Structure 1
Amino acid sequence: MYKYLFHGKNIKELSFFRVDGDHMEDYFGNLIIIGGAEDKADKCEILKEVVKKTSSKGGPLIVLTAATEYPEEVGALYKKTFNRLHLHDIKIIDIKDRHDANKVEFCKEIESSGCVFFTGGDQLKITSLIGGTGLYESLKQAYRNGTLIVGTSAGASCVCSTMVVSGKDDDSPRKVALKMAPGLDIIRGVLIDQHFAQRGRIGRLLGGVAQNPESLGIGIDENTAIVVEGSSVFRVIGSGAVTVIDGSLITHTNISELLPQETLAITDIKIHILPRGYKYDMRNRVPIPKRENKEDKNEDS
């Protein structure tokens, strides 16, 4: 059983470690978290990154279609797209119920995979079908062993310990603007929202951070992703931006005093807008401008 420790004098210095006996290791594994509507027909920048990392790890790419109402169509689309990008070892797993999520053959496939790809749809379907099952344990084991975990749209939200489930888009921050539920606990200390700029979701993510100031809010635009590579630093790829909301230094919020429809007050909250090429250190809560990166290549050319 893993235990989690916090290190640091204040919330800005928090760092996450897993403890297994006397062994300590960084919490962060290999993740690509996509804001949805990733390009599947043109440059395919994000999916090419998925292919590159899956090929490097070895093993099949598993497309988990549990979130969608159209598993056959969605699975076929991703298989066709990845085949066109020269990745051919693709397996589609459609979890229809919790019995499926405890099938030994599915668990073994997850454990031997190079990548597990969660499609879009409804994040509650993912967690309610998979949480606490054999497949969930296999997913965590695969992640610890270096398997790349990818989530797009609903699949992006579900990787957190606490996930954004629903909320009113394009409105002033309000107490009722956000509903949250337990996620898959693959990455801790963050709240992730997707389709961020396109659906005007900054208000609801601000509400989430006001309720959980220790959690870092990460809003990811469509056709945009964060790439986590075994450390607390993520880098941004894709055509949009990533909005990071840091509530660790909030000096006042009325969140606990509000009636459901009242407007939220927050003071001294920090917001960063990060396009392609920028990085962010989630442990130290520090943005890393593009000019300070060694990998300063623009994919637009």
Structure 2
Amino acid sequence: MSEKINGNLIIIGGAEDKEGKKEILKKVCEFINKDNDTILVATIATEYPKEALKKYKEVFTKLGVKNIKGLDISNRVHAFEEENLNSINEAALIFFTGGDQLRITSIVGGTPIYDALKKASKRGCIIVGTSAGASVMSDTMIVQGDDEESPRKCTLKMAPGLGFVKNIMIDQHFDQRGRIGRLLTGIAQNPEVLGIGIDEDTAIIVTDEGMAEVIGSGAVYFVDGSGITHSNVSEQYCDEVLSMYNVKLHVLKEGNKFNILAKAPFEEEISSNESNKN
């Protein structure tokens, strides 16, 4: 297993199709035995946990899943309860809903629930997150930043995530909310981190070997700042427009694969496509 990735993850950019073909959620269900395994819907991020659980219960039931439970942890007291720990230990797949990613980390950070989630991932439980549940997957997460704006030097608020994946930064609702500027700002401040922007109704399936496969109707953007040769990032004049050179951007669609650890598209796929053209 990679030192950077714990277990297998499905990271969704938000607003996944729940009414039509449900392609992403169908794919989620393929990772479990729908008759015997349990999906645990973690509604920690939202202030409306009952509504969120009801919505996903309806969808997963229609997709043939027999056992669906909720993990409603609305305060830190709940993160110490044995019943909630047992639910995590029994789950084959844990699905983090959208909402506010800072709620997740501030409520479960440093608690037995946090430890149980990390252990669940390592034992093979599939961890899925959509929207805020996607942002929290990494060890550094974007909490707040300007949408549809030019990147500026110090306009981004970041915080530690749950750390299922190391050295990446995830942003969701990416194209729909014009978030390229804020992801670039995040990478300018943390050039060792790989930035991943995921469109709505789009996801990446990440294996513990570091391979990310794109599924869904949109695109996924991988921003590599390791080769930056110039940046004007500093706390001084923080509202200035950001300037940096030699940032690498990869844009992938459904079926494309990206090696997160090597920070490069899957080479065998590229070679195969070039051979088919010849």
Q: Please indicate the TM-score interval, normalised by the length of the shorter structure.
A: over 0.9
Deviation at 1:293, TM superposition (A): 8.7
Q: Which residue of 153, 173, 182 maps to 2:151?
A: 173
**Contact kept in structure 2, 1:116 and 1:148, CA below 8 Å:** yes
Partner of residue 134 from structure 1, selected from 112, 118, 134: 112
Q: Which segments of structure 1 move beyond 2 Å, counting only runs of 4 or more?
A: 54-59, 288-294
- AA aligned to 1:43 is K
Give the structure 2 partner of residue 186 of structure 1: 164
Name the structure 2 match of 1:236: 214
Q: Which of 45, 48, 63 lines up with 1:70 in the alignment?
A: 48
- Partner of 1:250 in structure 2? 228
Are 1:273 and 2:251 counterparts?
Answer: yes
CA pair 192-57 structure 1, distance change in 2 beyond 3 A: farther
Counterpart position of 1:12: none
- In the superposition, the TM-score normalised over structure 1's length comes to 0.86
The answer for unaligned runs of 5 or more in structure 2 is: 273-278
RMSD: 1.9
The Cα shift of 1:185 comes to: 1.2
Q: Which runs of 5+ in 1 are unaligned?
A: 1-14, 18-25, 295-301
In the alignment, is the contact (CA less than 8 A) between 1:175 and 1:255 conserved in 2?
Answer: yes
* 2:276 aligned residue: none
Give the Cα–Cα distance (whole angstroms) in 1 for the partners of residues 114 and 37 of structure 2: 19
More strand by share: 1
Mapped partners of 1:175, 1:198: distance in 2: 23
Residues 200-251 of structure 1: per-residue CA shift (max 9 Å, x gap): 0000000000000110000000000000122111000000000000001000
The answer on whether the counterparts of 1:189 and 1:215 sit within 8 Å (CA) in structure 2 is: yes
Aligned residues: 272
Cα deviation per residue 1:155-201 (whole Å; 9 max; x = unaligned)?
Answer: 00011111110100011100233110011111111000000000000
Q: Distance in 2 between matches of 1:112 and 1:226?
A: 25
Matched, 1:117 2:95: yes
Match runs of 1:1-301 below 5 Å = 17=3, 27-55=5-33, 59-256=37-234, 258-288=236-266, 291-292=269-270
Question: Does the residue aligned with 1:204 lie in a helix, a strand or coil?
Answer: helix
Partner of 1:176, secondary structure, is coil
Q: What one-letter code is carried by the residue in structure 2 that aligns with 1:128? A: S
- Between the two proteins, what is the percent identity of the paired residues? 50
Residue 257 of structure 1: how far off its partner (Å): 6.0
Structure 2 CA distance for partners of 1:211 and 1:149, relative to 1, 3 Å: same
* Residue identity in the other structure for 1:213: P
TM-score by length of 2: 0.93
Q: CA deviation at 1:28?
A: 4.0
- Quote the Cα distance in structure 2 between the aligned partners of 1:227 and 1:58: 23
